[in-house]
Structure 1
Amino acid sequence: MRLFLCEKPSQGKDIARVLGANQRGSGCFKGTGVSVTWCIGHLVEPAPPEAYDERFKRWALEDLPIIPSTWRVHVKQDTLEQFTIVKQLLAQSSELVIATDADREGEMIARELLDLCQYRGAVLRLWLSALNEVSIRKALTCLRPAAETERLYHSALARSRADWLIGMNMSRLFTLLGRRSGLSGVLPVGRVQTPTLRLVVDRDRHIERFVAIAHWSIELRLIALEQTFTAKWVAPDRATDEAGRCIRQAVAQQALTALRQAQHAQVTELRTQRIKDAAPLPFDLSTLQETCSRKFGFGVQETLDIAQALYETHKATTYPRTDTGYLPESMWAEAETVLEALVLSDPSIEKLIQTVDRGRRSRAWSDDKVTAHHGIIPTLEPFCLDRLSKDERTVYELIRSHYLAQFLPLYEYERTQVRLDCASNGLLAQGKRIIEPGWHRALKPDQAFTEDDASERSQVLPALAEGDQCWVQKVELKALKTQPPKAYTQGELIRSMKGVARVVTDPRLKATLNDTAGIGTEATRANIIAGLLKRGYLYKKGSSVHASQAALTLVDSVPSAIADPATTAIWEQAFDKIEAGQLTLDDFIAKQTCWVSQLVEHYRTTTLAIHSCSGPNCPLCGAPMRQRTGKHGTFWSCTRYPECRGALPLAAEGNDMTRHRKRRRSKPYG
């Protein structure tokens, strides 16, 4: 019997329908000579330290480091029934087809089961990028030998074991050191979560320590050829900082007086540049999450859940957990079918699709740049658009627009810079004129790229020439201050996690990192952020996220190498090398084991400097609290505010909150 092992029941149902396995069994579907079952995610998980030795139930410094000689997994109790079903089906099967998600985690979900159940039959791999019928049938005709994807399993094991070594040893070590310093509770240290916290902590501290610098700007309204436009005064070098801002008020005031007395400004130089912008690539998951966060205010987990529903439930888009926006060149031949399916799903876009160039091949199709998965695009088959929720439709239309953009012309515009002289002062005016909207026609107004349009460069300038004179209509001095960096939104945090090389300042580490080096994976980043929010290490404030006092304590306590995002990014590159066959699993784990052992020995006798502002736990939800100041003074506020409005008076700094447990307020103190 051939057995198909899927990751989720919904996948199993889709594949079983195509295979004709229509007989529903307990935890499976059966047909003639074929069965389909599923894992419900991970059915097994890494064994805890006490599974290796009973004494590890008690946390003690003398027992560290804990280094397994032979790694173990055990069956998760809440899915024991499904594990038993899968094990029985494996015993009855002569051939297995791994049909879990086509990524590292999917590979590990299946192969850990095969190892635990000691399966010895033939193994093949079904590699799916979409769950619609056409895609499943196509994938079934080209099953891969299991050996082709085995290194994915080794890469996933490397990640899992590195997480275990760091999490189990460092969490115990720093929790025990924290207790010596009077800190109650657990200090959880994670290979990915701690560097993620570090990103937010660093940004929050940068904002907190930011010192504003005063500067002055002069803006002029000019008229030429019966058209009004805006120009800005160009301050002399002696009065500017490195960013070109005028930091000497006296110089700005002197220029203001001269400009207000002038009647004309003369064009001294004019430069026009024609710019052609290619269409953005189809989405990868991180870019989709960042875009939905910025444009629609969606949380990153919310975006992932929607993208997963579009893939699994509605069969509207392809596999979402991808790290690239490029497409295989072979998929270009399927474009005609995809475009026809788009019209059948949504007749309202027929007029737009009639304008696309179906023979156009954009930069998106490139075999060299496709990884294990390709960009997120619409599927080959129509679906019922009316079944989508409002948010699902918003994300679907965004994905669809980026696919349609591949078949539309380049976006072309002219960028013009005009330099003028006014009362011996230099002025600069910038303008933009759209020549060909091109692929922008595929975008709805809320999807358009408006960052550039928000600047004065988006204005349309009159048809000026060198020597032309412009009337001075208005002159205005603006007293400004430099602004601190903005706090992270969830989408921007995902972006920094993915491209961590951009935020690393150490030149040695920066040289080691690839330009695309990141922390976490497309499949895990949203869960990492969600977990930090749930445990109170991050909290939301409007659309931004901030680090709680507990996060400051954690980041300040652990070794800088563990908290440094560059370290984890280097490990992620090691996982890629394992997948590529350039590094073995055993060599990687040996290096990790040595490193963790050295850290334990180095920090075993350290005294932690507990953050002075650490507060009590929230009496409502248990999350850490932080000090806030309101109209009635300073008080303790839940770090999950406004989701949780728990609050305590400042005097309540101990952990004995019994007398405050029953006190619930609709508003915080202050």
Structure 2
Amino acid sequence: MTDEQLYITEKPSVALALADYFERHGTPLTKEMGHYINTEKNIVITWLYGHILTAYEPEDYNEEWKTWWKAPLPMVPDKFLKRPAPQYKDHYKHILLLLKDAHTVINAADPDREGQVLCDEVTEGHVEGKIYKRLLLNALDDTSITRALEHMEDNEKFKKLYEAGQTRENIDWLIGMNLTRFFTNKAKDAHIEGVESIGRVKSPATNMVVERELEIENFKPEPYFNIFAYLNINGQTIKAEFETKKKVKILSEADAIVSHCSGKDFTVQEVNNETKEEKVNQLYSLDTLQIDADKVYGISAKDTLAALQKLYEAKLTSYPRSDCKYLPESQRKDAPEIAKLLNDKLAMEIGLIPVQANNENLNNSTVFNDKKITAHHAIIPTKNVPDLKTLKDTEKQIYLLIVRKYAGIFVKPYKYTITNVQGKIEGYPFKFRCKKVIDGGFTLYEPKKESAKEKEDIELKSPLATGQRLPVTKAEKEAKTTEPPKRYTEGSLIQAMTNAKSDDPELSKILTKVKGIGTPATRADIINKIIKVDKHIQKKGKSLYPTVKGRTLIEILPNILKKPDYTAMMEQKLTGIEEGTYTRQQLLKDVVAFVQDIVGSDFKIINKQYPCPKCHNGYLQYRKFKDKYTGDMKEIFFCNSCGIGFPAEDQKPKVVICPECKKGLLIEKKGKYGKFYGCTNYPDCKYGIRKPEYDKLKGSKF
């Protein structure tokens, strides 16, 4: 063994950035097959391709677990195992050879739970007797790499983080493999085809979209009227709104108010001036950036992350999968230099950032807060400022969102005065609001089309006093209809996942602490999977709609699997593993018991595809059985409420309306001379035919 240092990065692009850094700082490296190495052969950099190890499938543990409908549930491996993915098998062997020769191993994967797992699972069992360090790269610019290399830590410090990450994978295997099979088989029994893919995060996410759709479908719009009066204030026209706790819903009432107010005076009763300030107190985390990118540009969560990853690999922005909105205090001194570099190339695009010495706004910014730093810090631009022409459209849009947010910490707060005026016209209460901007602050960096403040309040040009009378130049009504809640977009679904709540106050506290369901690193991928892989949701324009498959899934799942409560409990315990207050063994035991309770239950799925045409209360359920008289296999759809049965034809119930009375339905009956098909409206209708004649009739469509 030599004094060789082996760096293992998460991706080839990070290995290249690290090799480039060493070369520019006096240690040139040469790229060889599967790694970079310096002349002295004491610095080696290799890379992963994300997770190069993949979990065993059920049949890899036990041949009996191969067949979905025969495998006994729950399937619980004695020990969870992984193997290299076929496409990475040779590279995995190469890493093991490099590990054998290394004296010091450095985990240089992404600085989070997932990064800890994907490197440690490769090195596990191959670093005994070696020095094992952790390099936490929050960005790939020179300053960040230098700082990270100077502050490497012992990888042993992150052992619990690795355990928590492993346990999370094992939990998802136990729940996903067992419950997907269980509910798919139960659905199959109910004649519902397809795989019902279950996940502890994606099922609650799907449920959010389904519940929102149900709210929209059950919403009953109601007409109402807005009433406005236009006031003349020293030549300036101001629009005042009728103030009422209850909406005006009757046309005659609206007309009466308009008639009474037309040509009269508005008497000022109260004037309130309030000066407000808004400043950039937080920078972007991944989820808040995805929300804004969706809102401003309609960029999907997955595309935002992909663009951000490219910017990070190009050393233009810091680590992309951050859940943090703050910066360490040590970076306050770096900010003016970053701002100067941004001014040099982007002043024409966003405006100048004030970079004078002793910038009071920067010095007092609460964005710099060591107590709020997690494994990462907020997403910010680095000292490497690009020529915007070299960026693709989406990359440019995401980059400028980050730059504009960062620029906001250098300027005075956005300061404005709100004037709220209340008064009466002929006894009817009206109100209006005006706004005067004192300092544009950070909004100066926002193009108008991107501003969240799309509706600017009009500025009141003349002061008002109590008792002052203002002429009404016009009064009018506006017919409106109450609107249902809006459908989720990818951005608003990420926001809902981040802010997920429970009916249980204690679980809600946990969800707030763990920042909802999923993580910034996984939410975009989860949404993408339930749209493109599971097909539980479909995207039309920016809006998300549940599919029939998604609605069926949510209908059959027990509440604990479609609400965020269970994920909250799991995240609390995973955090406990990280902190050493809970063990991996305890949590896996809890999850096995949870899965056992579900798969051991007498759970039945009611297929609601075919409502009963007879009783209108139940649903027709498919059954296949052997006729005890003839020995033939029969396929029948029985109502789970009234018990009526209809023959199956092309795997659908054949429902024939009586040709005689046009009211009843033809069903199989036993008579004196054997079986026949008769009307359910008997004895009022005595129509009946034999099977050959019945077979010629067409069933009605559902």
Q: TM-score, normalised by structure 1?
A: 0.86
Corresponding position: 1:93 with 2:93:
no
Tell me, which stretches of 5 or more residues in structure 1 are unaligned? 615-650, 655-670
1:174 equivalent among 183, 186, 192:
183
Q: Against the structure 1 CA distance between its residues 609 and 348, is the aligned structure 2 distance closer, same or farther, given a 3 Å change threshold?
A: same
CA distance in 1, matches of 2:338, 2:118: 32
1:526 equivalent among 524, 537, 540:
524
Counterpart of 1:281 in structure 2: which amino acid? Q
Contact 2:180–2:195 (CA<8 Å) still a contact in 1? yes
CA distance in 1, matches of 2:509, 2:70: 36
Give 1:220 deviation, angstroms.
1.0
Tell me the residue number matched to 2:575: 576
Q: Against the structure 1 CA distance between its residues 81 and 122, is the aligned structure 2 distance closer, same or farther, given a 3 Å change threshold?
A: same
Counterpart of 2:46 in structure 1: which amino acid? T
Give 1:116 deviation, angstroms.
5.5
Deviation per CA, 1:614-635, whole angstroms, max 9, x where unpaired? Answer: 9xxxxxxxxxxxxxxxxxxxxx
Counterpart of 2:606 in structure 1: which amino acid? A
Equivalence map 1:252-651=2 (5 Å): 252-260=254-262, 262-312=263-313, 314-346=314-346, 348=348, 352-354=352-354, 358-359=359-360, 360=362, 361-451=364-454, 453=456, 457-458=457-458, 460=460, 462-501=462-501, 504-507=502-505, 509-510=507-508, 512-514=510-512, 517-535=515-533, 536-602=535-601, 605-612=602-609
Tell me the residue number matched to 2:640: none
Where 1:173 maps in the other structure, the secondary structure is helix
Contact 2:275–2:416 (CA<8 Å) still a contact in 1? yes
Q: Against the structure 1 CA distance between its residues 101 and 512, is the aligned structure 2 distance closer, same or farther, given a 3 Å change threshold?
A: closer
Where 1:105 maps in the other structure, the secondary structure is helix
CA distance in 2, matches of 1:351, 1:539: 40
Where 2:512 maps in the other structure, the secondary structure is coil
Deviation per CA, 1:197-240, whole angstroms, max 9, x where unpaired? Answer: 001011111111111123222111110111100101123x5xx2
Where 2:368 maps in the other structure, the secondary structure is coil
CA distance in 1, matches of 2:321, 2:268: 53
Q: Against the structure 1 CA distance between its residues 362 and 513, is the aligned structure 2 distance closer, same or farther, given a 3 Å change threshold?
A: same
Where 1:63 maps in the other structure, the secondary structure is coil
CA distance in 1, matches of 2:221, 2:461: 33
Moved more, 510-519 or 537-546: 510-519
Contact 1:497–1:519 (CA<8 Å) still a contact in 2? yes
Name the % identity.
29
Counterpart of 1:610 in structure 2: which amino acid? N
Where 1:416 maps in the other structure, the secondary structure is strand
Q: Against the structure 1 CA distance between its residues 349 and 218, is the aligned structure 2 distance closer, same or farther, given a 3 Å change threshold?
A: closer
Contact 1:517–1:569 (CA<8 Å) still a contact in 2? no
Give 1:8 deviation, angstroms.
0.5
CA distance in 2, matches of 1:452, 1:653: 56
CA distance in 2, matches of 1:92, 1:295: 51
Corresponding position: 1:159 with 2:168:
yes
Moved over 6 A (4+): 651-654
Give 1:392 deviation, angstroms.
1.3
Q: Against the structure 1 CA distance between its residues 410 and 142, is the aligned structure 2 distance closer, same or farther, given a 3 Å change threshold?
A: same
Give 1:469 deviation, angstroms.
1.2
Give 1:446 deviation, angstroms.
3.0
Corresponding position: 1:9 with 2:12:
yes
2:65 equivalent among 56, 81, 91:
56
Q: Against the structure 1 CA distance between its residues 229 and 571, is the aligned structure 2 distance closer, same or farther, given a 3 Å change threshold?
A: same
How many residues align? The count is 602
Give 1:459 deviation, angstroms.
5.2
Tell me the residue number matched to 1:146: 155
Q: What's the C-alpha RMSD, in Å, of the aligned pairs?
A: 2.2
Counterpart of 1:391 in structure 2: which amino acid? T
Q: Against the structure 1 CA distance between its residues 355 and 124, is the aligned structure 2 distance closer, same or farther, given a 3 Å change threshold?
A: closer
Corresponding position: 1:38 with 2:36:
no
Counterpart of 1:468 in structure 2: which amino acid? Q
Where 1:606 maps in the other structure, the secondary structure is coil
Where 1:520 maps in the other structure, the secondary structure is coil
Q: Against the structure 1 CA distance between its residues 410 and 336, is the aligned structure 2 distance closer, same or farther, given a 3 Å change threshold?
A: same
Give 1:87 deviation, angstroms.
1.1
CA distance in 2, matches of 1:382, 1:487: 38
Counterpart of 2:254 in structure 1: which amino acid? A
CA distance in 2, matches of 1:653, 1:329: 67
Where 2:567 maps in the other structure, the secondary structure is helix
Contact 1:217–1:233 (CA<8 Å) still a contact in 2? yes
CA distance in 2, matches of 1:168, 1:72: 15
Give 1:477 deviation, angstroms.
1.2
Deviation per CA, 1:319-357, whole angstroms, max 9, x where unpaired? Answer: 111112111111111112212222344353696124667
Counterpart of 1:597 in structure 2: which amino acid? Q
CA distance in 1, matches of 2:73, 2:514: 35
CA distance in 2, matches of 1:540, 1:392: 22
Moved more, 590-599 or 14-23: 14-23
Deviation per CA, 1:66-93, whole angstroms, max 9, x where unpaired? Answer: 1122221121112112111111111111
Deviation per CA, 1:60-119, whole angstroms, max 9, x where unpaired? Answer: 366101112222112111211211111111111121000001111110001111126565
Q: Against the structure 1 CA distance between its residues 451 and 206, is the aligned structure 2 distance closer, same or farther, given a 3 Å change threshold?
A: farther
CA distance in 1, matches of 2:421, 2:575: 49
Counterpart of 1:607 in structure 2: which amino acid? K
Tell me the residue number matched to 1:23: 30
Where 1:70 maps in the other structure, the secondary structure is coil
2:111 equivalent among 102, 105, 110:
102
Where 1:340 maps in the other structure, the secondary structure is helix
Where 2:436 maps in the other structure, the secondary structure is strand
Tell me, which stretches of 5 or more residues in structure 2 are unaligned? 612-648, 653-702
CA distance in 1, matches of 2:520, 2:398: 17
1:123 equivalent among 119, 132, 135:
132
Contact 2:64–2:71 (CA<8 Å) still a contact in 1? no
CA distance in 2, matches of 1:381, 1:510: 41
CA distance in 2, matches of 1:477, 1:421: 17
Where 1:467 maps in the other structure, the secondary structure is coil
Counterpart of 2:346 in structure 1: which amino acid? D
Counterpart of 1:254 in structure 2: which amino acid? A
CA distance in 1, matches of 2:59, 2:545: 35
Give 1:606 deviation, angstroms.
2.0
Contact 2:510–2:568 (CA<8 Å) still a contact in 1? no
Deviation per CA, 1:253-284, whole angstroms, max 9, x where unpaired? Answer: 33222112x42111111111111112252111
CA distance in 1, matches of 2:600, 2:552: 21
Q: Against the structure 1 CA distance between its residues 74 and 296, is the aligned structure 2 distance closer, same or farther, given a 3 Å change threshold?
A: same
Contact 1:518–1:572 (CA<8 Å) still a contact in 2? no
